[in-house]
Amino acid sequence: MKPYSESCEKNQEPILAVLREIFAGRTRVLEIASGTGQHAVYFGRALPHLSWQTSELAHNHAGIRAWLDEAQLPNVLAPLSLDVDDAQWPVAPVDAIFNANTVHIISWPQVERLFAHISRVIEPGGCVCFYGPYNYAGKFTSDSNARFDAWLKSRDPDSGVRDFEAVNSLAASCGLLLQHDIAMPSNNRMLVWQARP
Ligand SMILES: C[S@@+](CC[C@H](N)C(=O)[O-])C[C@H]1O[C@@H](n2cnc3c(N)ncnc32)[C@H](O)[C@@H]1O
């Protein structure tokens, strides 16, 4: 059976509206942590000019494959096994990267490794889009994000909603310059960086 995420169902249309603009001139997207595979199918179908490469931890591949097998989209590619803890990512360079809802799930050292991988995979001038909740000036942007953070930390003390400033400074140290910080529904953001040309 295909895995299903209610939050993907809710956020996919607002995310697509942003990606239509941001990925308009792009050709090859690497999606990091594709989750169920729903986003890949939705965005890949709506943006057929893109080759959309899914990736995930190996134990989630069967679910992604179930979505891809049903959708039969020629531009959405079967998942690569990419773990942020791997020493190397065997990925050809891409001109765009998309990730949703992962930096608050993994630990901060893993976020640092994630950006190190991204800096090696993204082409000069390429575009990196991160969707999810962020804190600003050390403050939650809503009570619901504060509750979400408490819930995350009750499961894993190393997880939690990240500070925009810390993530953006990490991105800058990897040669990624902030282009947009877009308000999204349900107190989420879309952060868009461009790799140094
Ligand atoms: C909250 S889910 C988000 C999934 C999907 N992007 C979405 O928005 O529905 C977080 C994802 O991070 C992935 N993840 C956790 N640890 C990881 C790691 N060490 N390397 C790569 N991905 C990881 C999980 O497998 C999971 O799919």
**What pTM does this model have?**
0.98
Distance 35 CA to ligand 1 centre (A): 6
* b (16+ CB within 10 A) / e for 18-54: bbeebbeebebbbbbbbbbbbbbbbbbeebeebbbbb
Mean pLDDT of the chain: 98
Distance 98 CA to ligand 1 centre (A): 12
Q: Is 159 in the pocket of ligand 1 (CB under 6 A)?
A: no
| pLDDT confidence of residue 189 | 98
Q: Is the pLDDT of residue 1 over 90?
A: no
Q: In the chain, what percentage of residues exceed pLDDT 90?
A: 99
| pLDDT confidence of residue 41 | 98
Q: Which of 1, 149, 16 is nearest to 62 (CA)?
A: 1
- Residue-wise pLDDT for 111-161, tens only, equals 999 999 999 999 999 999 999 999 999 999 999 999 999 999 999 999 999
Distance 152 CA to ligand 1 centre (A): 13
Enumerate the domain spans of the chain: 6-195
Q: Is 33 in the pocket of ligand 1 (CB under 6 A)?
A: yes
Whether domain 6-195 has CATH 3.40.50.150: the reply is yes
Q: Is the pLDDT of residue 99 over 90?
A: yes
Q: Is 56 in the pocket of ligand 1 (CB under 6 A)?
A: yes
